[in-house]
Amino acid sequence: MIKKYYFVVVEQSTSVKLIAFVIVSVILFYIGLMIGLWMNHDDIFKVLNPNFFRYFSETLGGS
């Protein structure tokens, strides 16, 4: 009974779908950055360093 109700809530809830989409998008973004760094023979764990994102935003034209 509880399992059946859970699937009904997930199927009808737009906010749950939206949150799941955002989480999956962020995870895929990090995976894409890691693959790009790996292909350039760089350290893939650089993505976890906050200084990397400062460099990343400067590269894309940020302040």
- Residue 15, domain member (yes or no): no
- Residue 4, domain member (yes or no): no
- Residue 11, domain member (yes or no): no
- As a whole number of angstroms, the distance between CA 22 and CA 24 comes to 6
Q: What's the confidence (pLDDT) of residue 23? A: 96
Total domains in the chain come to 1
- Residue 5, domain member (yes or no): no
Per the structure, the complete domain to which residue 37 belongs is given by 24-63
- Residue 61, domain member (yes or no): yes
**Block residue for tokens 């693959």:** 35
Per-residue pLDDT of the chain (63 residues; tens, 9 = 90+): 556 666 666 666 788 888 989 999 999 988 888 888 788 777 777 777 888 778 777 877 766
Q: What's the confidence (pLDDT) of residue 27? A: 94
Q: What's the confidence (pLDDT) of residue 24? A: 95
The whole model's pTM is what?
0.58
- Residue 30, domain member (yes or no): yes
